Amino acid sequence: MSQEKTLREKVFSICDIMQDSGEKITRASVRERTGGSDRDLSKFINEWRESKALVVQSDTESSLDSGTNSSNNDVDELNTGAYSTTPTDDLARIARRGAERAAALMVGEDAVVAHLLENPDQLPEDLRQQVEGYKSRTIAAANKRQEQYNPDFFAQMAIAQFK
């Protein structure tokens, strides 16, 4: 009679297989293959990562003691780092960080714009003068148009045509 593997054993074997094939190890990808709750999977995946880190550390120490350095150790150390073994995942992380920075800049810029719109006296002097110049030209153009539609102006124009 064969015993069925425990969830922990399943997670460990799936994580080994995924690491060997270069796949990113996530709760979702492990859950697809093993089932189980997020809480349990997280615990077992973390245990697996810790056990791999201990294996890499002990292999590194033994290779340093013997004076040799294995290229597999270097690969294992890279796999446990901040970046994954899949370039597309790394690019997605970089793109996400870039998007987050862009969003922060846009939100920050909008906040500064809103503040300066409410407090135009805090604008730098050259920009304040530029705004005043635009305002005075706009007011002059509005006054000129308003003057042209004044009934007295129409009457004067009509009388001028008859002279």
Structural domain boundaries enclosing 23:
1-85
Same domain? For 44 and 60 the reply is yes
Distance between start and end Cα atoms, the chain: 120
Same domain, 73 and 135: no
pTM for the complete prediction?
0.36
Angle, CA 77 vertex, CA 53 and CA 24 arms, to 5°: 85
Domain count, the chain: 3
Q: Are residues 99 and 37 in contact, defined by beta-carbon separation less than 8 angstroms?
A: no
pLDDT (tens, 9 = 90+) of the chain, 163 residues, equals 456 788 889 999 999 999 888 888 889 999 999 888 889 998 999 988 888 877 666 665 665 555 544 445 444 444 445 555 667 777 888 888 888 888 888 888 888 888 888 888 888 999 889 989 999 999 998 888 887 777 888 788 888 888 7
Please indicate, yes or no, whether residues 112 and 76 belong to a single structural domain of this protein: no
